[in-house]
Amino acid sequence: MTIKNTRRQFLKATAATGAAISAFSIVGCAAGPNVVVIGGGFGGSTAARYVKKFGPNVNVTLIEPKTSYVTCPFSNAYLGGLVDFQYITHTYDGLVADGINVVHDTVSGIDANTKSVTLSGGTVLNYDRLIVSPGIDFKWDVPGYTEETSAKIPHAWKAGDQTKLLKAQLEAMDDGGVVIICPPKDPFRCPPGPYERASMIAHYLKTNKPKSKVLILDRKDKFSKQGLFVEGWGKVYGGMVEWVSSAQGGMVEGIDAANMTVKAEFDTHKGAVINFIPNQVAGMLAHSAGLTNDKGWCPVNISTFESTIIAGVHVVGDASIAPGMPKSGNAANSQAKACAWAVVQMLNGAASVDAPMTSNTCWSLISPDYGIHVTAVWQANEAEFVSVSGGVSGSNLPDATRKLEAGFAPGWYDNIVKDTWNV
């Protein structure tokens, strides 16, 4: 106990020194209010840029450990061989050019009483409003699948080295093997993602290893754009892609990394490559900060995205509970703009913030020439995002329409990347 107390006092002293330094080195003499953003993905980067856009006098600091960000959107196209890794990797130079103070460090503490964030490097940043966009973390609740196991059986559900590992395994496998994909239970990041991944892996296999198969063992009985995916798989890949619902025996009960098998409810399946996607909760930072509910996600006021647990702290993106909206990069981008608007209004002393309209548009690639979409526009009320329009691509459309939509997919990607990272 004595040691602990001493350490605590030490940390406190360090923190005080850090605050004194940051007052000069980071905040400088600028007179405007301070907004700190934690997390440099779609939600955090958009929030930082739009706080600056809506409130040019605001000092905005973004904290992100990595010096470049790899997006989950288009990581499936990378697996399919359509784009290279550089295409999905983005620096923070564009945020710096916008006048945002980008700090590459990890957060060691948030103090909502003193309104400060302490970084592992010792810096203390004071905030008037804090926005966190911590993304997702994994539950590791399926026997045999741990963080250690993911070095052999990648989840590739946070893009980066895991994505490269899965790609390398696809390239190394023999023709005739089975690639097993295990999508998670709801709710999870990017609802159509696992099925687009199955499509892009099938494209790679059809092109390079045509005797191989993709087997999807699902812990659910239905999925996003299901009719369109099933139609597309039939048209483009014949019997190469097989989807097994939870009720049909897709429920995964265990992973055996040594033998490369997936134990499902009725059978054990051997994979040449296995892509197991764990069940999900809000990112670790949200848990450490006490922003999560008993289900592991962050409840927020949906007009401002301010936490209903901790005042002054806003949560956007996958970690937040935004009833009616999916967890996606576009949803995070849209929420971050609404949040940024609210934060600037609140800093300016507004008594209330009107309920925002948000949107999400997502194209999935079944092949390089076959794209399908889902889109929605929402109007927030006090409790939820009410869909005011939306829908999915029609079924049995002409090849030319599928090809046109396949072109819209990188169109969306290039523009949302520009909007989010200014690169």
Partner 1 sequence: MHIKTSLAVGLFAVAVLPFAPTSASAQNMNPELLASNCVVCHGPNGESVSHIPAINALNANEISDRMREFRDGKRAATIMDKIAKGYNDAQIDLIAEHFGAK
Closer residue to partner 1, CB minimum distance, 208 or 389: 389
Query: Minimum distance from CB of 211 to partner 1 (Å)?
Result: 34
Phi/psi of residue 392, nearest 5 degrees: -125, 165
Sign of CA dihedral 294, 296, 302, 304: positive
By CB under 8 A, tell whether 306 contacts partner 1: yes
DSSP assignment of 380-394, as one string?
Answer: E-SS-EEEEEEEEPP
**E strand segments, 116-201:** 116-119, 124-126, 129-132, 136-138, 178-182
Q: Angle 399-421/42-54 helices, nearest 10 degrees?
A: 60
From the CA atom positions of the chain, what is the Rg in Å?
22
Closer residue to partner 1, CB minimum distance, 239 or 394: 394
Applying the rule CB under 8 A, the residues between 274 and 293 that interact with partner 1 are 283-285, 288-290
By CB under 8 A, tell whether 381 contacts partner 1: yes
By CB under 8 A, tell whether 410 contacts partner 1: yes
Closer residue to partner 1, CB minimum distance, 266 or 408: 408
Query: What whole-number distance in Å separates Cα of residue 112 and Cα of residue 56?
Result: 25
Mode of pairing for the β-strands spanning 116-119 and 124-126:
antiparallel
Query: Minimum distance from CB of 416 to partner 1 (Å)?
Result: 4
Find, among 306, 313, 409, the residue nearest to 361 by Cα.
409
Query: Minimum distance from CB of 402 to partner 1 (Å)?
Result: 10
Q: Which two tokens stand for residue 98?
A: 């916008």
Among 253, 260, 308, 324, binds partner 1 (CB under 8 A): 308
Among 353, 365, 370, 385, binds partner 1 (CB under 8 A): 353
**Per-residue b or e along 97-131, where b marks 16 or more CB atoms closer than 10 Å to that residue's CB:** eeebbbbebebeebebeebbbbbeeebbbbbbbbb
Helix (H/G/I), strand (E/B), else coil: 270: strand
Among 204, 364, 373, 385, binds partner 1 (CB under 8 A): 373
Find, among 142, 186, 405, 148, the residue nearest to 276 by Cα.
142
Query: What whole-number distance in Å separates Cα of residue 86 and Cα of residue 78?
Result: 10
Stretch that binds partner 1, among 194-202, 229-237, 259-267, 402-410 (CB under 8 A): 402-410
**E strand segments, 45-96:** 59-63, 68-70, 89-91
Applying the rule CB under 8 A, the residues between 236 and 255 that interact with partner 1 are none
DSSP assignment of 183-235, as one string?
Answer: --PSS-S-TTHHHHHHHHHHHHHHHH-TT-EEEEE-SSS--TTHHHHHHHHHH
By CB under 8 A, tell whether 346 contacts partner 1: yes
Contact 129, 117 (CB under 8 A): no
Among 35, 103, 338, 365, binds partner 1 (CB under 8 A): 338
Among 185, 355, 368, 369, binds partner 1 (CB under 8 A): 355
Stretch that binds partner 1, among 189-197, 223-231, 269-277, 410-418 (CB under 8 A): 410-418
By CB under 8 A, tell whether 304 contacts partner 1: yes
Applying the rule CB under 8 A, the residues between 43 and 62 that interact with partner 1 are 50, 53-54
By CB under 8 A, tell whether 131 contacts partner 1: no
By CB under 8 A, tell whether 327 contacts partner 1: no
Binding mask 2-31 for partner 1 (x = CB under 8 A): ------------------------------
# residues near partner 1 by CB under 8 A: 79
Helix (H/G/I), strand (E/B), else coil: 359: strand
Query: Minimum distance from CB of 80 to partner 1 (Å)?
Result: 18
Applying the rule CB under 8 A, the residues between 68 and 127 that interact with partner 1 are 106-113, 118, 120
137, containing H or E segment: strand 136-138
Applying the rule CB under 8 A, the residues between 143 and 202 that interact with partner 1 are none
Query: Minimum distance from CB of 145 to partner 1 (Å)?
Result: 19
By CB under 8 A, tell whether 404 contacts partner 1: yes
By CB under 8 A, tell whether 227 contacts partner 1: no
By CB under 8 A, tell whether 354 contacts partner 1: yes
Q: Which two tokens stand for residue 128?
A: 């008037």
Query: Minimum distance from CB of 196 to partner 1 (Å)?
Result: 17
Among 233, 325, 356, 370, binds partner 1 (CB under 8 A): 356
Among 292, 334, 335, 367, binds partner 1 (CB under 8 A): 334
Query: Minimum distance from CB of 245 to partner 1 (Å)?
Result: 28
Burial of 247 (0-12, 13-18, 19+ CB in 10 A): exposed
